[in-house]
């Protein structure tokens, strides 16, 4: 199988330990010297760069949070001066005020190197035509995939989001083989294709580079079988560069390059390291950053790491599917509920269509959860008895899998909102 940078990707664990420690020390030196904010944080915790002698010493360093990045001015946070910054991006602001991120020339190069390795590991190369249906602009999705696809010699169609008829036209006219999009948009593109009488399974489109929002294995199965598009899970965030890591051809977790980042998992309540194989909050350190420091940065995403060597031969750890964010977890009558759990459970019912919506309200003192579920056109009948039986089955499956009751409303195909970028499937009205 093709490898973009075999020296690093196939390096032994022992050699990666040595390389990672060297890069970590350099990073901490750089941040202590140049980022007044991070220096202050280290001083508060009583840690000096010289205290980092082994990889385990990482846990001595202070955490950074989204709030730190939003509250502080670039002059206090950045490690590089204005002259060396060659680009700015911003996060999409899913959980609050967007964060502004700066990049040096080397930051842009490391970013595309990371994603070029990933795309090659997913089986892509110079013969591919990649339609980038992520937003171009301040959001990192568009330009991130654009640079990496060009780097591996693929042809890029910079379509950005929207104009779905045209997107389909271009897939057909150019023989596009890969589409980069959010999973929600991929589903929408497939639905529009069906309406236009286009069978995507017979088209040249073979791979979807899908990420930017939580999605489930069941949703992947659906995209793969309904549209004939292999769904490769992709991960990144603007603070970390942008989309930087994907699954390899084995589709069993996202390879995290050890010379580029350290992914730790902690207990979100105590901040302590989680036991191996245990789910918890993701904490990221970006080893090669020059402009914007990311050191023990609390992402808020809930996931688990697999340190075992992958069947593809790469020894780098893999991040398993993200079940949600600490801050999009709903607490319904004291029970933790992630929207992705609801999605997974709904998709175990063959009658269920592609979209759903969760509406949470408060009736008196009690939380009230309503799940609106689209049915496939063939499942929506006039027979009230049949519909009631289906609703009851879905309601009881949800109750079993979430451990909390929810009302279910069945609605026709196409009646819930569709999304060009990140989906917004939860409406929490308890604070209104």
What, of Zn ion, ligand ADP, none, does residue 248 touch, CB below 5 to 8 Å by kind?
A: Zn ion
Write out the residues near ligand ADP by the rule CB under 6 A: 91-95, 211-214, 233-235, 237-238, 299, 301, 322, 325
**Closer residue to ligand ADP, CB minimum distance, 69 or 410:** 69
Give CA–CA dist 421/408, Å, rounded.
26
Tell the smallest beta-carbon distance from residue 197 to ligand ADP (Å).
Answer: 31
Edge-to-edge strand list for the sheet holding 318-319: 254-255, 318-319, 305-306
Give min distance, CB of 387 to ligand ADP, in A.
33
The interface mask with Zn ion, positions 290-329, x = CB under 5 A, is --------------------x-x-x---------------
In the complex, what is the shortest distance from the CB of residue 317 to Zn ion, in angstroms, rounded to a whole number?
Answer: 11
**CB atoms near residue 62 (< 10 Å):** 15
Residues 336, 256, 32: CA angle, nearest 5 degrees: 95
199/193 Cα distance (integer angstroms)? 7
**Residue 169 CA: distances (Å) to CA of 164, 175, 183, 196:** 9, 10, 20, 11
Judged by beta carbon, residue 149 or residue 310, the one nearer Zn ion is 310
The residue count of the chain comes to 432
Beta bridge partners of 332: 335
- Window of 7-15, 16-24, 144-152, 241-249 that interacts with Zn ion by CB under 5 A: 241-249
Instruction: Kindly report the number of other CB atoms within 10 A of residue 318's CB atom.
Output: 22
Binding at 211: pick from ligand ADP, Zn ion, none (beta carbon under 5-8 Å per type): ligand ADP
**Number of residues lying near Zn ion (CB under 5 A):** 5
Q: Rank residues 285 and 315 by Cβ distance to Zn ion and give the closer one.
A: 315
Would you call 70 exposed, middle or buried from its count of C-beta atoms within 10 A (0-12, 13-18, 19+)?
Answer: middle
Indicate the residue among 3 and 90 with the shorter CB distance to Zn ion.
3
The two beta strands, 155-157 and 129-132, are parallel
Q: In this complex, which beta carbon is closest to Zn ion, that of residue 310 or of residue 394?
A: 310
Q: How far is the CB of 180 from ligand ADP (least distance, A)?
A: 12
| Rounded least distance, CB 235 to ligand ADP, Å | 4
Residues of the shown chain interacting with Zn ion in the complex, contacts defined by CB under 5 A: 248, 250, 310, 312, 314
């Amino acid at each position: 199988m093709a490898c973009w940078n075999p020296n690093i990707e196939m390096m032994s664990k022992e050699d990666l330990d040595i390389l990672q420690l060297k890069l970590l020390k350099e990073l901490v030196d750089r941040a202590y010297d140049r980022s007044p904010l991070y220096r202050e944080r280290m001083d508060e915790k009583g840690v000096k760069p010289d205290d980092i002698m082994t990889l385990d010493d990482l846990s001595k360093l202070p955490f950074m949070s989204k709030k730190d990045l939003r509250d502080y001015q670039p002059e206090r946070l950045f490690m590089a001066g204005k002259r060396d910054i060659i680009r700015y991006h911003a996060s999409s602001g899913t959980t609050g005020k967007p964060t502004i991120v700066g990049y040096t020339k080397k930051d842009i190069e490391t970013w595309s190197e990371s994603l070029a390795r990933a795309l090659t590991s997913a089986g892509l190369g110079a013969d591919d035509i990649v339609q980038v249906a992520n937003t171009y602009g301040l959001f990192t999705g568009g330009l991130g995939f654009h640079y990496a696809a060009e780097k591996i010699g693929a042809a890029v169609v910079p379509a950005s989001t929207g104009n779905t008829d045209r997107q389909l036209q271009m897939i057909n006219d150019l023989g596009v083989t890969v589409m980069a999009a959010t999973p929600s948009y991929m589903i929408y593109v497939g639905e529009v294709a069906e309406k236009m009488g286009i069978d995507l399974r017979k088209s040249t489109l073979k791979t979807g580079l899908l990420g930017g929002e939580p999605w489930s294995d069941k949703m992947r199965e659906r995209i793969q079988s309904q549209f004939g598009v292999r769904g490769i899970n992709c991960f990144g965030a603007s603070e970390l560069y942008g989309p930087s890591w994907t699954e390899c051809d084995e589709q069993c977790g996202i390879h995290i390059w050890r010379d580029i980042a350290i992914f730790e998992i902690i207990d979100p309540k105590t901040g302590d390291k989680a036991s191996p194989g245990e789910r918890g909050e993701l904490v990221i350190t970006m080893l090669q950053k020059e402009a914007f420091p990311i050191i023990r940065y609390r992402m808020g995403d809930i996931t688990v790491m697999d340190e075992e060597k992958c069947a593809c031969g790469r020894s780098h750890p893999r991040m398993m599917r993200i079940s949600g964010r600490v801050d999009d977890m709903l607490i319904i009558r004291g029970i933790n509920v992630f929207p992705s759990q609801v999605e997974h459970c709904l998709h175990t019912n063959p009658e269920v269509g592609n979209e759903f919506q969760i509406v949470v309200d408060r009736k008196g003192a009690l939380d009230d959860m309503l799940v609106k579920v689209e049915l496939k056109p063939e499942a929506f009948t006039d027979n009230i008895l049949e519909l009631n039986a289906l609703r009851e089955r879905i309601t009881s499956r949800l109750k079993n899998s979430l451990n909390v009751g929810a009302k279910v409303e069945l609605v026709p195909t196409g009646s819930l909102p569709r999304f060009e970028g990140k989906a917004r499937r939860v409406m929490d009205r308890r604070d209104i």
